[in-house]
């Protein structure tokens, strides 16, 4: 059981305050995200049909919760892992112009998740996606988008502080951009997670670029499916990848804390290249992939932002179960209660 018990931990907000603060975080953040990125809210599915290629494969190893549909000849539906590809299809259907996009509340079940302070069976995040022009497919543009998103995080943190003065702002003024190759050079003797830990503690907030592709040591910093983020394109600086993660330093857990995965999405060339790299060329015949290869989908960038992760960070909670209702092992519940961590 992976469980961190911070010494001397005591919640800064009581249960009633916590529920009110959760609503404040969610309301304020999504309103500002929508305005900053020019997004309209849409309704999203909880499940999609298996075999269409629309569900997110995450790292390619997680099993999707599934069930047969009685009135559809027992076709199998899968609970979404995220909406990375569904959003792109929807943008095409709605014919949203370049520079505008959508966001939605994504709810998912990840049955293979290893439960801990920051991982739950239940996933809630804002999934967002914006239509872009071909000329914008660059690392420079990606950094601009990350900067705008980081500004929304900063504004949200200050808004919470205005209401609850004990929750003093912790985020640094600016986010630091680091490529996975740079992290490898900085910390050659550490594992990828240890590199994230060291860099997040040093800078406070980092954006790790190029997740999914091989580094110079022949390893991946972390896995990424080959059919949504573009992690194999050479950038103007020679680095590889047009995607990444926002990782901040969590002072309560004293660890790196990922709150968002995002990036510029694959075009036809990147999709074919990455399917070949991952030896998954057979996916070309799936509905989503076929649409992309036949120019039926717009070029987009987007990502996901963990709702409970944000609440956990801004409200200085030690466990994600303090800001969301889920299921936990009895042993974890008991140990948490003995250390002033009360799970919903």
Active site residues: 56, 110, 125, 245, 258, 261
User: Is residue 107 helix, strand or coil?
Assistant: strand
CB 222 within 8 A of CB 192: yes
Closest by alpha carbon to 304, among 7, 1, 30? 30
CB 58 within 8 A of CB 81: yes
The values of phi and psi at residue 129, to 5°, are -155, 140
CB 42 within 8 A of CB 90: yes
The values of phi and psi at residue 107, to 5°, are -120, 135
What are the contacts of 237-240 at 24+ separation with CB within 8 A? Answer: 237/139, 239/139, 239/179, 239/181, 239/209, 239/210, 240/181, 240/210, 240/213
- Render 118-187 in DSSP notation, one character per residue: S--SEEEEEEEEEE--GGG-SHHHHHHHHHHHHHHHHHHHHHHHHH-TTS---S-SSPEEEEHHHHHHH-
Token pair 């996975």 is found at: 180
Mark residue 226 as left, alpha or beta (left: phi above 0; alpha: psi -120 to 50; beta: remaining).
alpha
How would you class 11 by CB atoms within 10 Å of its CB: exposed for 0-12, middle for 13-18, buried for 19 or more?
middle
Count of beta carbons in the 10 Å neighbourhood of residue 337: 11
């Amino acid at each position: 059981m992976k469980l961190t018990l911070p010494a001397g931990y005591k919640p800064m907000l009581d249960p009633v305050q916590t529920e009110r603060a959760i609503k404040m975080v969610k309301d304020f953040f999504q309103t500002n995200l929508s305005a900053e990125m020019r997004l309209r809210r849409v309704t999203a599915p909880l499940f999609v049909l298996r075999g269409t290629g629309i569900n997110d494969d995450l790292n390619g190893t997680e099993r999707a919760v599934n069930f047969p549909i009685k009135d559809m000849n027992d076709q199998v539906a899968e609970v979404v892992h995220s909406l990375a590809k569904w959003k792109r299809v929807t943008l095409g259907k709605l014919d949203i112009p370049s520079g505008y996009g959508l966001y939605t509340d994504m709810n998912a079940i990840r049955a293979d998740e290893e439960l801990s302070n920051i991982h739950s069976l239940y996933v809630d995040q804002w999934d967002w996606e914006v239509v872009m022009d071909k000329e914008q497919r660059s690392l420079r543009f990606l950094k601009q988008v990350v900067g705008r998103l980081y500004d929304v995080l900063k504004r949200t943190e200050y808004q919470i502080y205005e209401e609850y003065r004990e929750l003093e702002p912790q985020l640094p003024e600016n986010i630091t951009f680091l490529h996975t190759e740079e992290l490898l050079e900085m910390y050659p003797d550490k594992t990828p997670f240890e590199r994230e830990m060291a860099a997040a503690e040093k800078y406070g907030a980092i954006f790790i670029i190029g997740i999914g592709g091989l580094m110079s040591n022949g390893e991946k910093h972390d896995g990424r499916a080959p059919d949504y983020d573009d992690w194999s394109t050479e950038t103007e600086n020679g680095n590889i990848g047009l995607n990444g993660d926002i990782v901040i330093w969590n002072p309560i857990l004293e660890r790196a804390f990922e709150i968002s995965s995002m990036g510029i999405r694959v075009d036809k060339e990147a999709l074919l290249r990455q399917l070949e790299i991952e030896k998954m060329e057979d996916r070309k015949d799936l509905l989503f992939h076929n649409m992309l290869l036949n120019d039926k989908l717009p070029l987009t960038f987007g990502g996901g932002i963990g709702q409970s992760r944000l609440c956990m960070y801004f409200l200085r909670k030690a466990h994600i179960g303090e800001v969301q209702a889920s299921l936990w092992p009895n042993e974890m519940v008991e140990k948490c209660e003995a250390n002033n961590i009360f799970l919903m």
